[in-house]
């Protein structure tokens, strides 16, 4: 006897009605709730510099946030597999709110340890936001899937403007710098609880049936999945490596905190603005070509940053960095989502984000040391950050070329 629920879900996927509704909700979430990430990335290193006893640890709060995201990836993915996307995203916003509360108290008490702990909890929200792009594909047809990913990522365009502007309004609004900024982050997370009520994704697909899909090891041994994970990790890690250090580098080279916020704003704009057409480019030229283009743009970003420390160089390098991340990361995500089954979704997506954010954690941790402890000036530190990109871009580029040249029958 036909299953009415299954038939209804099939019809919804065929005409993408549910997918388009979910995209609207996730775009709003990316734009509004997601504003907290550029806010925290802008101020965490600067606040860390004032709280840490050793400047080499200034970016540790950002590292802790990315570490929290890495640690939360697998549990969140498994939670969503059992209880659905909406419950997982609400849990993520609760983590973001808790992180902001702890960070705010850390600033109030001048405690670097508490400030870092708060950042660790903020990573729970960061991990949940990473699943927005996957949730956009749950009810999408094969043709609409890359566009859905791209549109959701485009929601970050508004957050790129809202986040830094909120930093400017709140950074000095209270006696304790940045305290008002974290109070604003609490309010943004509270809004998410109401927004996700409008999300409509298919019921979770149990991975405990006889056809539960491939194991994690089997998935990672699939060439297209392995290369997608490598390219996503390198794209995100190198973006974080430069972005984490950029506010410190801008201020260290004689410019203002406002200049640093503007550089981050244009960088995040470049991260998300191309998303309006990235999905169309993937559909036309293939994900592999778009990922390759992204890696090339990331290399150009490092070159622009290395040749000078004028304000124009910072803007140019960070804009290219955002564009390269967009092509590399969205392209790799499209490769991944087309390479696993619904039953493998929770297993593979959690594993992917665990690996990605493990790389980002190492990049963030290295960023502070390279920036503050390499040479005798901010210029020396910034150059060290730029040079650190080379081996990882080489790795990702070689893996992608191997995949493209690999015999199709293999």
Angle, alpha carbons 368-183-350 (nearest 5°)? 60
In a domain, 235, yes or no: yes
Per-residue pLDDT of the chain (410 residues; tens, 9 = 90+): 444 444 444 544 556 778 888 889 999 898 889 999 888 887 887 788 778 777 777 778 888 888 898 899 889 988 988 888 889 999 999 999 999 999 999 999 999 999 999 999 999 999 999 888 888 888 777 788 888 888 888 877 788 788 888 888 888 888 888 899 999 999 999 988 888 888 887 776 655 444 567 888 888 899 999 999 999 999 999 998 998 888 888 988 888 878 887 898 899 889 888 888 888 899 889 999 999 999 999 999 999 999 998 999 999 999 999 999 999 999 998 899 888 877 787 788 888 888 988 888 888 778 877 887 777 788 888 999 999 999 999 999 999 999 999 886 55
**Are the C-beta atoms of residues 133 and 228 closer than 8 Å to each other?**
no
In a domain, 10, yes or no: no
Dihedral (Cα; 235, 239, 240, 242), 10-degree rounding: 140
What is the C-alpha separation between 164 and 363, in angstroms, rounded? 23
Q: Which of 130, 106, 132, 109 is nearest to 120 (CA)?
A: 106
In a domain, 206, yes or no: no
Give CA 301 to chain center in angstroms: 18
- The first and second tokens of residue 339, run together, are 């390479």
**Are the C-beta atoms of residues 12 and 114 closer than 8 Å to each other?**
no
In a domain, 410, yes or no: no
Per-residue pLDDT, 2: 45
Per the structure, the complete domain to which residue 382 belongs is given by: 16-201+213-405
- The first and second tokens of residue 156, run together, are 């970050």
In a domain, 3, yes or no: no
In a domain, 158, yes or no: yes
In a domain, 88, yes or no: yes
In a domain, 74, yes or no: yes
Number of domains in the chain: 1
What is the C-alpha separation between 261 and 164, in angstroms, rounded? 6
Per-residue pLDDT, 13: 52
Other Cβ atoms within 10 Å of 296 Cβ, number: 15
Per-residue pLDDT, 198: 87
- The CA distances from residue 238 to 128, 301, 331, in Å, are 21, 10, 16
Q: Which class for 209: exposed (0-12), middle (13-18), buried (19 or more C-beta within 10 A)?
A: exposed
Per-residue pLDDT, 205: 61
Say which CATH number the domain at 295 has: 1.20.1250.20
């Amino acid at each position: 006897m036909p299953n009415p629920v299954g038939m209804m879900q099939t019809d919804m996927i065929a005409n993408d009605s549910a997918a388009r509704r979910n995209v609207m909700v996730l775009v709003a979430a990316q734009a509004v709730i997601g504003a907290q990430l550029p806010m925290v990335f802008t101020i965490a290193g600067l606040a860390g510099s004032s709280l840490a006893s050793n400047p080499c640890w200034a970016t540790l709060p950002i590292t802790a946030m990315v570490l929290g995201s890495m640690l939360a990836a697998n549990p969140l993915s498994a939670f969503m597999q059992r209880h659905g996307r909406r419950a997982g995203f609400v849990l993520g916003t609760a983590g973001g709110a808790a992180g902001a509360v702890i960070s705010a108290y850390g600033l109030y008490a001048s405690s670097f340890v508490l400030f870092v702990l708060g950042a660790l909890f903020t990573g729970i929200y960061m991990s949940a936001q990473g699943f927005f792009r996957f949730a956009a594909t749950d009810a999408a047809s094969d043709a609409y899937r890359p566009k859905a990913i791209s549109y959701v990522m485009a929601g970050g365009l508004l957050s790129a403007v809202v986040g830094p502007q909120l930093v400017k309004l709140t950074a000095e609004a209270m006696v304790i710098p940045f305290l008002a900024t974290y109070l604003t982050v609490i309010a943004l997370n509270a809004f998410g609880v109401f927004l996700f009520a409008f999300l409509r994704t298919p019921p979770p697909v149990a991975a405990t049936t006889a056809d539960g899909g491939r194991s994690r090891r089997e998935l990672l041994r699939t060439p297209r999945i392995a290369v997608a994970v490598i390219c996503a990790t390198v794209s995100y890690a190198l973006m974080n490596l430069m972005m984490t250090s950029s506010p410190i580098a801008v201020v260290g080279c004689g410019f203002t905190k406002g200049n640093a916020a503007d550089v981050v704003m244009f960088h995040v704009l470049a991260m998300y603005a191309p998303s309006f057409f990235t999905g169309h480019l993937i559909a036309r030229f293939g994900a592999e070509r778009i990922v390759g283009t992204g890696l090339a743009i990331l290399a150009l970003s490092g070159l622009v940053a290395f040749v000078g420390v004028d304000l124009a160089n910072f803007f140019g390098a960070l804009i290219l960095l955002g564009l390269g991340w967009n092509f590399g990361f969205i392209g790799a995500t499209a490769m991944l989502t087309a390479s696993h089954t619904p039953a493998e979704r929770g297993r593979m997506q959690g594993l992917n984000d665990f690996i990605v954010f493990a790389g980002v954690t190492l990049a963030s941790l290295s960023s502070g040391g390279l920036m503050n402890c390499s040479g005798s000036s901010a210029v020396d530190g910034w150059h060290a950050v730029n040079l650190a990109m080379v081996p990882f871009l080489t790795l990702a580029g070689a893996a992608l070329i191997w995949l493209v040249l690999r015999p199709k029958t293999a």
